[in-house]
Amino acid sequence: MHYHLMPQSYRRRFGGVGIGKQRDLTVVTPIAASMIERMARQLAFSFEGRPTPNATVQQVIERALLEVSDEQAFASLLMGGEDGQSAVRGIVERIVEALLLTFELIIIVKPGQDGPANTEAPKRKAAPLPNGWMPCHQISPNSKPKLRWARTWQDGDDYVGFDGAIAIGRIFRIAALSADDREKWLWLLTHAPAQIKLDHPSAGWEETPRQAAVRVEFCYQKIRQAIHDDAYDTLRKHGKR
């Protein structure tokens, strides 16, 4: 795995200037893109027997990186010490586990090397979670939201998330649902711009309010990155970079 080969500027943006301070999570997408570009030279992935596009694999890597804690992200900058090396190993193990839980791995042997042209690793077929997400996209119960969440009314199981003054989504429970469903925390994402094509649902459920809030924040970050990419492509087409 090639996390330690990332440009220092990427790793600094990902780790921040202190624990939980000034982390730039928009850098997750270029980090994941660089990692899959390197991996694709020797590895290929499939799902249910069909080849998986690199873009899909990249999304799994992004999700794993977004689950990295503030403490581990900052510690990964200290690669000269044991704590830093341990943090990097932890990040790499998280990514590897996410990939193996989701895909079947194919090792590509280049011409002139010993061994067969393609060697398939043992297949591990992952089933979706009850909420419809793949295991690699599962929100840890220990995850904490990073943005501001406020009740919509006093003592209600209903919250709205904000990025500054921007409402990004809502999480809530509905007491009128069945006994099995009334404990679930439902989430809704604020509508994305019409030109942005989402690669994830805009609503769903999680077991706890924290997990639901983190899910909304994850989807919101994906929309922000999509808007950034769309704006960049538009400027590039007009020769302004």
Task: Answer whether residue 125 shows pLDDT above 60.
Answer: no
Cα gap 93→78, rounded to integer Å: 18
- For the chain, the structural domain boundaries read 3-125, 148-237
Q: Where are the beta strands (DSSP E) in the chain?
A: 43-47, 50-51, 104-108, 118-120, 148-151, 158-163, 166-172, 185-189, 203-206
Distance between start and end Cα atoms, the chain: 32
Residue 170 DSSP code:
E
Confidence of residue 220 (pLDDT cuts 50, 70, 90): confident
Residue 84 has pLDDT above 50, yes or no: yes
Assess whether pLDDT exceeds 70 at residue 143.
Answer: yes
In this structure, of 54-58, 99-103, 141-145, the range with the lowest mean pLDDT score is 99-103
User: Is residue 206's pLDDT more than 90?
Assistant: yes
Q: Is the pLDDT of residue 59 over 70?
A: yes
Taking the C-alpha atoms of residue 43 and residue 51, their distance in angstroms, rounded to an integer, is 11
Q: Give the separation between CA 240 and CA 99, rounded to whole angstroms.
A: 37
Q: What is the pLDDT of residue 219?
A: 86
Assess whether pLDDT exceeds 60 at residue 169: yes
C-alpha angle 52-54-57 in degrees, rounded to nearest 5: 75
Averaged pLDDT score across all residues of the chain: 79
Between residues 80 and 27, which one has the greater pLDDT?
Answer: 27
Question: How many Cβ atoms sit within 10 Å of the Cβ of residue 222?
Answer: 22
Q: Could you tell me what percent of the chain has a pLDDT over 70?
A: 78
Q: Can you tell me the distance from the alpha carbon of 221 to that of 117, in angstroms, rounded to the nearest whole number? A: 39
- Reported as a pLDDT band with limits 50, 70 and 90, residue 186 is very high
Predicted model pTM: 0.52
Residue 123 has pLDDT above 80, yes or no: no
Higher pLDDT, 169 or 178: 169
Q: Tell me the C-alpha distance between 239 and 241, whole Å.
A: 6
The pLDDT assigned to 212 comes to: 94
